[in-house]
């Protein structure tokens, strides 16, 4: 084997040394310009990339939840070096921005949380069955975003004989808990149906005439909750005023055939349809049985109201009666 010249060995060693120096320089901790943390302490690893074994060492207290503070870069370097990160430098940075992240608990979430607890205490179906008001407006709160239970109801007290409650909530702030006391009223409510306008007897109501109102259950009394679709298309049995709570018994099927009205008599059987004019001898709603006088034969027939001014009879009625044939 041919031996390498000494000067070549020296150059190779120098190149290796430079590479090692460069690698070491690249691995030096790099200070970040901005930091976001969730905990109440800021660590060396939060401030620096490549902090190594000292990454978990806390050197500053974090700002309040949801806020941002600044710290001079030289102070971060000084604290890091004092903790053992001796090769830390600030580079060109003058100050470091530190933000403490947080989870916002909105007023709606707080209301639902308290409402559910009150509903359980009152033994009602759920929070939708309650009308809850608070003595003071609810304000959003900031909690530790790492918490599995950022806010919870610690206790609920119902005042005997009243619709009043007092609630104690605990808010997880990370290193501490805030105690929040809320007071208000909770009333069990039900949905009732009312009219948007006055309705006279016999008038047919539509969906636009109906309003769903929520009222205290004790005020509703024996009024059974009904859906608007149960009433729309029916006729009022009596005169009803606007805003009046209504029940199913206030309505009936609309009268499609009036007594004395001229109607179409329709005879239907397989392969045969006959029509004639008649006079209703009694009023009838859809599906009801009424008597009709055939104006040609002067005989009365019985049929079923099948539409506005229309009565249909089946195949058992003699065709002669419908068509005006000779009387026996």
pLDDT in tens, 84-126: 999 988 889 999 999 999 999 999 999 999 999 999 999 888 8
The CATH number of 28-101, from 2.60.120, 2.60.40, 2.60.480, 2.30.30, is 2.60.480
Residue bearing the bigger pLDDT, 160 or 277? 277
If you write DSSP's letter for every residue of 277-306 in order, what string do you get?
A: EEEESS-EETT-EEEEEETTT--EEEEEEE
The domains of the chain are located at 28-101, 105-189, 191-252, 255-323
CA angle centred on 170, ends 166 and 173, rounded to 5°: 150
pLDDT category at 255 given cuts 50, 70, 90 is confident
Contacts 24+ apart (CB under 8 A), 240-246: 240/195, 240/198, 240/199, 241/195, 241/198, 242/194, 242/195, 242/196, 242/197, 242/198, 243/194, 243/195, 244/194, 244/195, 245/192, 245/193, 245/194, 245/213, 245/215, 245/220, 246/193, 246/194, 246/195
Provide the pLDDT for residue 3.
Answer: 47
Tokens of 215: 């009222």
SS3 label, residue 88:
coil
How high is the mean pLDDT of the chain?
86
pLDDT in tens, 134-184: 999 999 999 999 999 999 999 999 988 778 999 999 999 988 899 999 999
Q: Which of 179, 24, 32, 3 is nearest to 87 (CA)?
A: 24
Main-chain phi, psi angles of 63, to 5 degrees: -70, 175
Q: Are strands 30-31 and 48-49 parallel, antiparallel or unpaired?
A: antiparallel
pLDDT category at 326 given cuts 50, 70, 90 is very low
Q: Which CATH fold topology does 255-323 show?
A: SH3 type barrels. (2.30.30)
What is the value of pTM for the model shown?
0.61
Main-chain phi, psi angles of 235, to 5 degrees: -110, 145
Q: Which of 165, 164, 147, 143 is nearest to 155 (CA)?
A: 165
Residues 6+ apart with CB under 8 A from 205: 195, 199, 231, 232, 233, 234, 235, 236, 251
Domain at 191-252: CATH code: 3.90.1210.10
């Amino acid at each position: 084997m041919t031996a390498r010249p000494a000067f070549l060995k020296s150059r190779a060693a120098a190149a290796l040394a430079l590479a090692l120096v460069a690698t070491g320089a690249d691995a030096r901790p790099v200070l970040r310009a901005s930091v976001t943390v969730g905990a109440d302490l800021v660590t060396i690893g939060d401030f620096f990339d490549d902090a190594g074994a000292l990454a978990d060492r806390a050197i500053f207290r974090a700002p309040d939840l949801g806020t941002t503070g600044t710290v001079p870069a030289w102070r971060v370097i000084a604290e890091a070096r004092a903790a053992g990160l001796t090769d830390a430098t600030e580079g060109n940075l003058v100050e470091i921005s530190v933000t403490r992240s947080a989870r916002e608990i909105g007023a709606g979430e707080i209301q639902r949380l308290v409402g559910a607890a009150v509903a359980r205490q009152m033994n009602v179906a759920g929070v939708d069955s309650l009308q809850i008001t608070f003595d003071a407006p609810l304000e959003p709160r900031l909690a530790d975003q790492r918490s599995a239970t950022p806010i919870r109801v610690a206790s609920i007290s119902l005042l005997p004989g009243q619709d009043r409650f007092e609630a104690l909530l605990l808010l997880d702030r990370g290193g501490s808990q805030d105690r929040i006391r809320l007071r208000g009223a909770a009333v069990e409510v039900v949905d009732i149906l009312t009219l948007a306008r006055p309705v006279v007897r016999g008038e047919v109501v539509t969906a636009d005439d109906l309003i769903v109102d929520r009222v205290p259950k004790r005020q509703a009394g024996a009024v059974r909750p009904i859906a608007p679709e149960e009433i729309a298309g029916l006729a009022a049995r009596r005169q009803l005023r606007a805003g009046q709570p209504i029940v199913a018994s206030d309505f009936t099927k609309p009268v499609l055939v009036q007594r004395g009205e001229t109607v179409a008599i329709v005879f239907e059987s397989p392969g045969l349809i006959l029509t004639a004019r008649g006079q209703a001898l009694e009023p009838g709603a859809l599906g009801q049985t009424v008597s009709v006088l055939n104006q040609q034969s002067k005989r009365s027939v019985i049929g079923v109201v099948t539409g506005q001014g229309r009565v249909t009879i089946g195949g058992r009625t003699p065709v002669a009666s419908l068509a005006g044939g000779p009387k026996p």
